[in-house]
Amino acid sequence: MAQLIGEIRASYAFVERNFNLVKRYWGWEVVWLAYSIANALSITFIAAGTEAVTGQAIDTNHMILYLLVGTLVWHYLAVVFDNVSEMIAWERWEGTIEYTFMAPISRFTHMVGQTLFSLVYGLLHTGIILGVVALFFQLDLSGANLFGGVLTLVAGSLSFIGLGIVASVLPLLFPERGAQMTHVIQALLLLISGVYFPVSVLPEWMQPLARLSPATYVLEGMRAALLDGAGTGTLLGHLGRLVLIGVVAIPVGLAIFRQAEKYAKRTGKLKRSG
């Protein structure tokens, strides 16, 4: 019991530390939120302008929601992924990495703390963006299953946490440019997951890759919940797949991370300067 309390305290250490840092970097948080809102609006305006560009009549409200779901889901998953994958790069930059790795906590506890923060932070951020964009476009969300949407996001987070843990290996192994390398993984997921277009428009050889990406199922579930108002029961298939991918991805991510940690300790890469 005492050990469990210790682990919970240790997990909470990361949540509290990260929120303290958010408070201190509030200027950056304002800029980041403004950028994210502007980005979401810009993408959503593509839908608003499609009729004018093509000269064809389309269901503009549906199209706006389609792109809005894409941008919101992508924003949320990117925040979760970035927070998890950058935990090493961040600590290396601050110079605290050796202290965190020297502490008597399991890597699982470390990851739980970091991911709990990223889930709460990502949900808050995405909720604000949704609110602003909904006001901007006077969106009618009365038929949307918001609860189902949030549930799908949270279920999808599990797999992105797993992928984020794998990506965090890169800054551990490549102190100078590892953090930037994680963007390659994000770019590939963005391409194959049907964030702003249906997967069916991808070349045939790319379409099976979309089925490997958890983001594809998050987007399908979210669009079903928010655009079609699908009931939570109907979403169970998507939710099940997402939880399954997450249940596999997190232990695999942790196992890969442990191997990378051993390699870093053998080669001296934990040191700040690498």
Partner 1 sequence: MSTGDHMALEVSGVTKQFVKSEGPRWPWKRNANGRKPVVAVDHVSLQVRRGEVFGILGPNGSGKSTLVRCIATLLLPDEGHISVFGHDVLREEMAVKQLINRVSVEASFFKKLTPMENLIYGARLYGLDAREARARALEVLKRLGLKREAIFQPMEEMSRGMQQKVAIARAFLTQPILLLLDEPTTGLDPRSKREVQAFVEELRDTHDTTILLTTHDMQEADALCDRIAILDEGRIVALDTPAGLKALVPGTNGHAPTLEDVFMELTGKQLVKEEEDE
Q: Is 62 in the site for partner 1 (CB under 8 A)?
A: no
Q: Which of 31, 32, 38, 99 binds partner 1 (CB under 8 A)?
A: 99
Reported as half-sphere exposure (CB side, CA atoms, 13 A), residue 81 has a value of 27
The length of the chain in residues reads 274
Interaction between residue 271 and partner 1 (CB under 8 A): yes
Cβ proximity to partner 1: between 59 and 94 the closer is: 94
Regarding 7 and contact with partner 1 (CB under 8 A), the answer is yes
Per-residue DSSP letter, 205: G
How many angstroms separate the CA atoms of 41 and 145, rounded? 22
Can you tell me which of 1, 25, 75, 78 binds partner 1, judged by CB under 8 A?
25
Assess 268 for contact with partner 1 (CB under 8 A): yes
- Touching partner 1, residues 112-171 (CB under 8 A): none
One residue of 1, 5, 57, 135 binding partner 1 per CB under 8 A? 5
How distant, in Å, are the alpha carbons of 208, 223, 246, 257, 270 from that of 122?
28, 19, 17, 23, 28
Residue by residue, DSSP assigns 81-110 as HHHHHTHHHHHHHHT-HHHHHHSS--HHHH
Give which of 266, 257, 74 is closest to 164, Cα–Cα: 257
- How far apart (Å, rounded) are the C-alpha atoms in residues 260 and 137? 47
Determine, following the binding rule CB under 8 A, whether residue 101 of this chain makes contact with partner 1.
Answer: yes
Q: Binding partner 1 by CB under 8 A: which of 38, 58, 103, 187? A: 103
Instruction: For residue 1, state whether it binds partner 1 (rule: CB under 8 A).
Output: no
Give me the residues that bind partner 1 (CB under 8 A), please.
Answer: 5-7, 9-10, 12-13, 16-17, 20-21, 24-25, 94-96, 98-106, 262, 265-268, 270-272
